[in-house]
Amino acid sequence: MFRTSGEIKDEVLIRLGVSTTAAGFYTDAQLNDWVEHGHRIAAAFRRWPFTEGRSNTTYVSSTEEYTYPEGWRSDSIRLLQLGGKRLRKLNFEDYNFFKEEFPSSTERVFSDFSNLYFINPSIDLSGTIAVFGQYTPVVDPTGSPTSADSLTVFTDREEEGNDAIIELMLSFARIREGNYQDSELHRQRAFQTLELIWKRIQDEQFAYHTHKDKEMWKRLDIVKGAMREDLLKRDQWF
């Protein structure tokens, strides 16, 4: 199995039956670009468990706007804790409605938009912000074959993913040669391999359970046609 970017590049050359000096057609620089490009496509193909990340930052009182952690995927914050307490995520439109209608509310909510996330500035919490989401991994194709920086995101986890990167690189090579039919075959093989990995991960996730005390339903006032928590608003007169 292939673990590093150096081993991946060597395997691509073996399968192509050429060397980097063959008429200057496949250079080290070109192979490095293909490793980086193939790795980026494979890593972004699914929201892999091994591209999940956590980032901590200090909460500044009454500050609403924070920047997404560098290299994280858009809208990928799934869980946000402030001082160890979980905040509820609202879509951005509802968050702004909430801020406009209840500017003094201490409700524990947050939202995100573009590369920013927003925490209710009137929240009744303090401490460290911990966000859990999805980052975009990178590989260093110029690293030596034994360099830790040259390991892919699949290495030591789901190493068939490295073979998918090889197939993507072969697809790029065939495009360069003008052989579009073979290029498409290699591309399909790459995605088939990634799909098999994803299915195996999904099959393993059956064992996850929902906590028995997690609230499943919200109380609905049938007469007034709204959620109970939306009807009982502090300091509001009807």
Cα–Cα separations (whole angstroms), residue 35 to 39, 83, 152, 169 = 6, 41, 10, 7
How would you list the strands of the sheet with 85-86, edge to edge?
52-58, 128-134, 79-82, 85-86
Task: Please answer whether residues 165 and 35 qualify as being in contact, where contact means their C-beta atoms are separated by less than 8 angstroms.
Answer: yes
Domain ranges of the chain: 5-47+140-206, 60-126
Q: How far is CA 38 from CA 20, 160, 192, in A?
A: 18, 14, 15
178-207 residue pLDDT tens: 999 999 999 999 999 999 999 999 998 877
Higher pLDDT, 55 or 221: 55
Q: What is the DSSP string of 68-103?
A: PPTTBPTT---EEEETTEEPEE--HHHHHHHHHH-T
| Cα gap 25→36, rounded to integer Å | 18
- In a 3-state reduction of DSSP, which class is residue 206? helix
**144's tokens:** 């030596």
- The one-letter amino acid at 48: W
Three-state DSSP at 145 gives: coil
Residues with Cβ within 8 Å of residue 199, at least 6 apart in sequence: none
For tokens 């360069």, what's the residue? 176
Give the per-residue pLDDT at 2. Answer: 85
Tally of residues, the chain: 238
Half-sphere exposure of 205 (CA within 13 A, CB side): 9
27-31, 69-73, 89-93, 225-229, range with the lowest pLDDT: 225-229
Q: Using a cut of 0.95, tell me whether the model's pTM lies above it.
A: no
Give the Cα separation of 39 and 46 in Å (integer): 12
Residue 34: name the closest of 147, 145, 173 by CA. 173
**Which of 11-20, 69-78, 83-92 is the least confident region?**
11-20
pLDDT of residue 147: 60
128 beta partners: 58
Phi, psi of 156 (to 5 degrees): 65, 15
φ, ψ for residue 146, nearest 5 deg: -100, 0
pLDDT at position 20: 65
